[in-house]
Structure 1
Amino acid sequence: MSTDTTTTTTTIDRAPALRVDYALDLICPWCWIGLRHLRTALRGLLAQDPGIALQLRWHASTLLPHISPEGVAYQAFYEARLGSREAVLARRAQVQAHAQPVGITLAFDSIERFPNSALACALVNVAQEQLGLIAMSDFVESLYDAYFVQGQDIGQARVLLDLARAARVECSPEQLMAAGLRSCSLPSQGVPHFVFNERVQITGAVPAEQLLAAMAQALPNGVTA
C-alpha cells in the first residue's frame, strides 16, 4: 500500500463508481423489459446516492446470425420454432404479462418480418460512443419500439439510419455495414445479461429491486460476491 498521503486522500474522497455492462439483442423482448427494469434500478440507486459515477456499456449482438439479411416471415418463423400456433400464443401471453407492468405493450401481430439483427446491434454499439447514458437508453428503446410496437423491419439499413438520424446519431450506410461485420459475442448464459463492476452478474429480465441489490453488492463498500 502506498504511504503517499495525497494519493490516499484522493482515493478516499473519490465518488463511488458503478460500471454496468449490458448484453442484449434487439429481437429479444425480454431485453427490452430488462432495460426498463435497469433504468428503474439506476434511478433508485441515484436517489440513494446522487454522487455515484455511472457508466453503462452496451454489448449488443445477434442471437441468430444465420437468419438471412432479408429476414424471414415472422409468424411462420415462431410457429416452426415453438411447434404450434397455440405454443406461440402462450409464449406471447407470458411475455406480455411481464412487459405491461413496465409500460410496454408488444404488438406481435403487427410484425411481418423476423430480421437478422446484426445491423441493429451494430448501430447500438456505434451509437454508445456518441450519446450519454439517458439519451442512449432512449435510443435503444426507440429501436425496440420500432420493431415490437410499430412493426418496422429493423434488419434493414434504411430503417435503422432513419432511427439514428432521429436520435442525432451520426452513422453513414458504409459505417453501419462495416460495424455489422464486427461481431460481439453474447454471454453463454443468455440475454439480457448484466454485469456490475465486473463483480456481480445477473441473467434475465429480473425485477428492478433485484438489480438494485446487485448494484449495491458490486459497489466498493458492498458485500463481495
Structure 2
Amino acid sequence: MTTPQISSAPDRLRVDIWSDVACPWCYIGKRRFEQALAQFSHRDQVEVTWHAFELDPAAPAEHPLSMRDALAKKYGRTPEDAQGMMDHVTRTAADEGLEYRFDRARLGNTFSAHQLIHHAAQHGKQDAMKERLLRAYMSDGDLVSDLDTLVRLAQEVGLDGPEVRAALLGGHHAHAVRQDEAQAQALGISGVPFFVLGGKYGVSGAQDPQTLLGALTQVWQETHPAPLQMIGTESPADGCEDGQCAVPERP
C-alpha cells in the first residue's frame, strides 16, 4: 500500500494510527502497540500520529440506547448475544490492564472528541488526550460529545480550558478531522485500529504486541539500512578512491 502524502524523516519512523474513541478494540490496540514499542530498540525514533475515524458519523450527540441494546440492534442479535460480545471484549481488555465498564457507557457522536485530539496535537499532548478520551468513554461513563465534558478532560491533561472551548465552538479543527477521514477512505481503511508504518505498510486490527513489534522491526530495517560492518584489519589496505590510486614507491 503506497501513501505518498505520508513520509518519515530520514532518522525517524513515522507511525500513523486511525482509530475512534468509541472503538473498544482501539483502546486495546493502543495498549498492545505501546507494549510493542517498549520492546523496539529504536523506540525513541518513532513518531506516532493519531488520525480520526468515526465508526458512526451519523450518531446523535447522545444515543438513547444502552451499549447492549445498540449492539443487538446494529448486528441483528439478541440482547444476550450482545452481552456475550461485550463480556468477551471486556475480558480481553482486562488482559491488557484496562477496565471496561459498558454498563455505564454513554454512546454518542465522536466528531468533537476528534477535533479535541487535533487541538491537543498542536500543544504536544495528542497521545495523552487520546488516552484520556478512550478511558472516559470505555471506563468512566463520560459523554464525549458534551462540550463541558471535553473541556474538563482537556484540562486534566494540561490544556487551557477557555482555549479548548473556543476551538471546539469555532470548529477550528473540523477540517483536519474530515481530512483524516478522507485519507482513510483513499487508503481503503474500513475498520480500526489501523496502523500505517513508514508511509506504505498497513497493519489492520488490534494485533498482538509481537506482531506489531515484528512489523516495526521489518519496516525499520527496510527503510533504515544498517551501515556496513568492517571486518579484517583495522586499517584499509592500499586501494583506489575517487579516481585516484596511491601507488607505493619501490624500495
TM-score interval (norm. to shorter): 0.7 to 0.9
What's the % identity of the aligned pairs?
25
Corresponding residue for 1:80? 73
Residue ranges of structure 2 left out of the alignment (5+ in a row): 1-8, 226-251
- TM superposition shift of 1:15: 7.5
Does residue 160 of structure 2 align to residue 166 of structure 1? Answer: no
Corresponding residue for 1:136? 126
- SS at 2:140 equivalent: coil
Corresponding residue for 1:93? 87
Corresponding residue for 1:5? none
Partner letter of residue 66 of structure 1? A
Corresponding residue for 2:174? 181
Taking the aligned partners of 1:74 and 1:122, their CA distance within structure 2 comes to 25
Deviation larger for 202-211 or 66-75:
66-75
Taking the aligned partners of 1:37 and 1:172, their CA distance within structure 2 comes to 30
Does residue 54 of structure 2 align to residue 62 of structure 1? Answer: yes
Residue ranges of structure 1 left out of the alignment (5+ in a row): 1-13
Corresponding residue for 2:200? 199
- TM superposition shift of 1:98: 1.9
Does residue 99 of structure 2 align to residue 105 of structure 1? Answer: yes
- TM superposition shift of 1:179: 4.0
Taking the aligned partners of 1:223 and 1:203, their CA distance within structure 2 comes to 23
Taking the aligned partners of 1:144 and 1:21, their CA distance within structure 2 comes to 17
TM-score (norm 1): 0.82
Does residue 198 of structure 2 align to residue 208 of structure 1? Answer: no
State which structure, 1 or 2, has the greater radius of gyration over its C-alpha atoms. 2
In the alignment of these two chains, the number of paired residues is: 204
Partner letter of residue 41 of structure 1? A
Partner letter of residue 163 of structure 1? L
Corresponding residue for 1:8? none
- TM superposition shift of 1:172: 2.8
- TM superposition shift of 1:69: 2.4
- SS at 1:86 equivalent: helix
- TM superposition shift of 1:104: 0.7
Taking the aligned partners of 1:167 and 1:188, their CA distance within structure 2 comes to 30
TM-score (norm 2): 0.74
User: Does the CA-based 8 Å contact 1:118-1:180 persist in structure 2?
Assistant: no
How big is the alpha-carbon RMSD for the aligned residues of Structure 1 and Structure 2?
2.3
Partner letter of residue 205 of structure 2? G
- TM superposition shift of 1:180: 5.9
Taking the aligned partners of 1:108 and 1:180, their CA distance within structure 2 comes to 29
Does residue 141 of structure 2 align to residue 146 of structure 1? Answer: no
Taking the aligned partners of 1:206 and 1:20, their CA distance within structure 2 comes to 15
Taking the aligned partners of 2:112 and 2:157, their CA distance within structure 1 comes to 17
Partner letter of residue 59 of structure 2? I
Taking the aligned partners of 2:174 and 2:196, their CA distance within structure 1 comes to 25
Corresponding residue for 2:228? none
